[in-house]
Amino acid sequence: MNSEEIIAKAREYSINEENDIFRSQVEALIGENDLDELNDRFYTDLEFGTGGLRGVIGGGYNRMNSFIVRRTTQGLANYINKAVGKKNGSVVIAYDSRHYSDLFALEAARVLCGNSIRTFLFTGLRPTPELSFAVRLLKATAGIVVTASHNPAEYNGYKVYWSDGAQIVAPNDTAIINEVRNVNGTPHAMDRDEAIARGLLRMIDREVDDAFVAMVKGCSLRPELMLKHGRDFKVVYTPLHGSGAMPVERSLREMGVDVIFVPQQKDPDGAFPTVEKPNPEEPPAMRLALELAGKTGADLVMGTDPDADRLGIAAPDGGGFTLITGNQLGALLADYILSSRTERGTMPRNPVLIKTIVTTELQRLIAQSYGAACIDTLTGFKYIGEKIREFESRADGPSYVVGGEESYGYLVNTQVRDKDAVSAAAMAVEMALYHRLEGRTLFDQLNLLWQRHGYFQETQINKYFEGQSGLRTMQSLMERLRTAPPGSIAGIRVVCIKDFRDHITRCLPEGKTEKDITLPSSNVIQFLLEDDSIITARPSGTEPKIKFYASCRSRPNTPQERARREVGTRVDSISDALNKLIAGA
């Protein structure tokens, strides 16, 4: 795009954008003739994809701002009115603590009301799982949550949910995307007070909060244990300046457990001043919580991200606290829930655990040990929500019991259809308390699972590709992995390659290729090695990066010290090999 085209797009945007803050940013750049910055803001449009919107906040077509939110919402409104008829649609909107989240939520509500769609807007920030729950509770056509999840402070985003409470999937996703692309000009947005007066906009809070907290408490498998011993169990919790404080604290308090907040991180703050990234996956984000746990003698440490759909925990381990990975917590939760249901006779018929293709195989082995099936989905919780809906549509279908993904997302109920860190936090506290009363730590229980099923260790390597040139490099690397795959990785022979884009599996020793992958097409490549290690390459759906996942395991009943040493060495070797592969991109 040449300089004249860039300036023309920038001027067009400044006409369309009604928000003074975002418009003035672009006008200042035009006045300064800052072509590099203008190019970054206008070389492409921030695209509404199957995961919604996510981008850096600011003026421009390649930024998150009021105009982009209005245009996206107009496309969604057009689709809703076609799908259910004008004046029959309804949408619930929630938002987290990020900069401009409240503004973007209101802008979306005003556009929906301007299209005669009844809208429920939370009066203050609420977590993503409560939005999913509210869509189902209020029998809405769709839902919107304004959040960029765990991304740095300069980002914001916008996710769309359908009437089942899950993020949109085919065919709704592509149909909405097409409607968004066809929107021209500046959509009409009804005045807030007019929308309320006409009954199109309804503000919600306590009535949904009460029902959501009741649901969280209802997930408990041993409520009597929590009420009897909960006050003796110390939990340090940080919402990382996000939306989890109210629902997590209230749910646990009503179940019998008092929460000790990290005071510096309790209040909502879109700048996330105490962390580089508000992500419980990142050890630095949990530093203050771990320090407080040491001072207070806590029994468990927990953290949730800004929209409270991801949960990270740490537990005592040999005198200090050790963070538990997403794969490990998922395995512990699966084991606790399945064993408790078995013991209490509440296991449903045809029980199923659902995990993603990059989540540890340890969870499959745990599920099978309790007579439950394990089903894989593509990465993205929307696919887990889709599977639950599919199960419910079949009279004799499987019964979802528990599931999740390695990136700290878990679902321990079916009344929410997305990652639910609030319910998972309550379940994690109950689980840790149960094991303590049985004389075990969470790490003791992990060791038992590893002894029984084999020691598992996972790692993840992220490679960022910024800007236009970075996108081309990322695409080239994925294509090279597909067309000229390595025959071995870290000296370990590749025996099978799964290409989830083309639905094919290539078994290298036999030289056989089969079109046997039934999951939706996705730009993911997976390498199975002869020692049972699994390596997966997948471009992120929300950031300009490729994620490489590696999982290695030992044989069951291998002495723990030896298993850890051997598996750790393999993980290190594979990590080195992947870094070299990335460096050559």
3-state SS, residue 510: coil
Give the bridge partners for 493, in sequence order: 488
3-state SS, residue 398: coil
Q: Are the CB atoms for 301 and 234 separated by under 8 Å?
A: no
In whole angstroms, what is the distance from residue 155 CA to residue 148 CA?
6
Pick from 281, 280, 213, 219: nearest CA to 248: 213
Q: Are the CB atoms for 334 and 402 separated by under 8 Å?
A: yes
CA 421 to chain centre: 10
3-state SS, residue 479: helix
The kind and range of the H/E element at 259 are strand 259-261
Cis peptide before 171 (omega within 30 of 0): yes
In whole angstroms, what is the distance from residue 126 CA to residue 132 CA?
11
Alpha helices in 117-235 (DSSP H): 128-137, 172-181, 192-197, 206-218, 223-229
In whole angstroms, what is the distance from residue 231 CA to residue 236 CA?
13
Kindly name the residue from 66, 149, 533, 554 that is annotated as catalytic.
Answer: 149
Q: Hey, what are 301's tokens?
A: 């440490």
In whole angstroms, what is the distance from residue 441 CA to residue 135 CA?
38
Q: Hey, what are 112's tokens?
A: 């929906």
For the beta carbon of residue 182, count every other beta carbon within 10 angstroms: 10
CA 275 to each of CA 153, 283, 381, 448, 467: distance values in angstroms, whole numbers, following the listed order: 10, 10, 26, 34, 25
149 is known as an active-site residue: yes
Residue 129 burial (C-beta neighbours within 10 Å; 0-12, 13-18, 19+)? buried
Q: Hey, what are 521's tokens?
A: 């097409």
Q: Write out the catalytic residue numbers.
A: 149
